[in-house]
Structure 1
Amino acid sequence: MSSPTDARAPIERLPVELIHKIFFLSLEFNFPRASAHIAAALSNEVIYTWLIRVAFSSANPSSSSGVLVHPFLPAHYFSLDADQKTELQTEILRCQWCTASLMRKCQREYVEHIIRQKCSDLIISPQDRARLDNLDPYWETMDRYSNATHGKRGKGDLIVSARHPDTGEHLKVAIWFNFGSVQIRERSPVFHETDLFRLPCCSTTHPCRMPDHLLRSPWTEEKLELLSLLSNEAYIDEDVRTIEGDIAPTGYRS
């Protein structure tokens, strides 16, 4: 008895791992639309998480020192230039799976990954080390809506003292939980927002575009939290009259 004919296209017969690799090497968002089989192979939270990490992790100077490594990112991850990251960010924000909950999950994993990678060798007191090892209380009680006055985030929600193991230089490790930011800086009476590890992070010169579906009703807590998180990052299209006309009747004030 002959075996039934496999009607799938050759690319659909590839192992799922190869389909994943093709997608991440191309970052072609039309690829999942090619067939239901490919869409199913790429529809899982691991893929979504990797995409957010690739697109929204900051490109600050210290991030180039190999801190974003496998398994935090796919083993075949490659760097993107500013324009490519902007395009990828815009595509991700258009997807219904890009929610505040998933962005917060990625944000938390990113901050904790940076702490492990950058602080493990620093000389930190046992008490402060214990605080860095258990950030749960801070994540659970953080203000989920930005209250950064004029875009300033302050010196940090959690700040611990540290010393460099080789030079003995005094350092500060600062974490901003709502913004998903970490900074390891020299002690100074003047605070500068430089060399911040951050997720989500968009380029100030190449900002991504906020999609229409996030700027229109229905207004949910999930949507409002994502908008708040992205409010200082993404570009809102110039056609604000349509947006304002949609927002005004809803009584949206927050």
Structure 2
Amino acid sequence: MPRHSLGALTLATILLAAPAARAADADRSTSAPKPESWVLDANDWQDGKDLLPEPVVKHLQAGEYWFNVVSVDPNRFHHNYSQAFWDATDANAGKYDLDAKTCGLKDNATGKIPDFVFGLPFPTIDKADQQAGCKIAWNFTMAGAMGGGGGATFTLNGVDTTGQFRRIKAFIHSRGYQGRHFGPLADNPEHLAGEGLSGALEPLDVEGVSTLTKRYWDWESQDAIWAYVPSTRRARRVNAASRSDPVAGLDI
């Protein structure tokens, strides 16, 4: 099989910690520290086996995948966010908890989902906390919400062992109503967390296929999704679970 690069990982702080986490392993107790930039490949695939999905590890071990790993400067990431964001993060200490059933964000003062959240909801997380994973996920979500949405044009490339077999050019535009720097919406009757529009631009056989997604700000509602297919000239509501189905010959 050909050898495919999966690009540069910016998770070096995690990957670089992998040898230390296995320091008790006699086979690797003498491993030298990793440099700031290195390649994770079949020669040292063990350094990624506890950090990557099992199918990816198998490709890595077989020499089919490799990763350029680079160090991360925390200060550079810190400056991606405003001082107001970090001030709000500090003020959020002890303010939020999680709904035990759904992992939904909960306001400690009311026991309900908060009306609006800005900054990281969990400024400090104890790694021994059984809910640490969910809290990290919420921090990740709210960190990405500060801008209030965004958009991009991109390509989806289907690749197998013979090379590229399918290429689709698409766009996505989204608007977020939680976590945004300029505060909550004055009017949000549907109580949305955000909404997005996406569509295919090329090739011709998928051009114009598009979706509208609405995400609700509550603990249990599924996303509402409508899909439009030009050949039928109709838009229809689709089940949120179907977003994982193959699209135009690509398993995405």
Q: Greater strand percent: which structure?
A: 2
Larger helix fraction of residues:
1
TM-score (norm 2): 0.25
TM-score, scaled relative to structure 1 = 0.24
Higher relative contact order (CA 8 A, sep 6+): 1
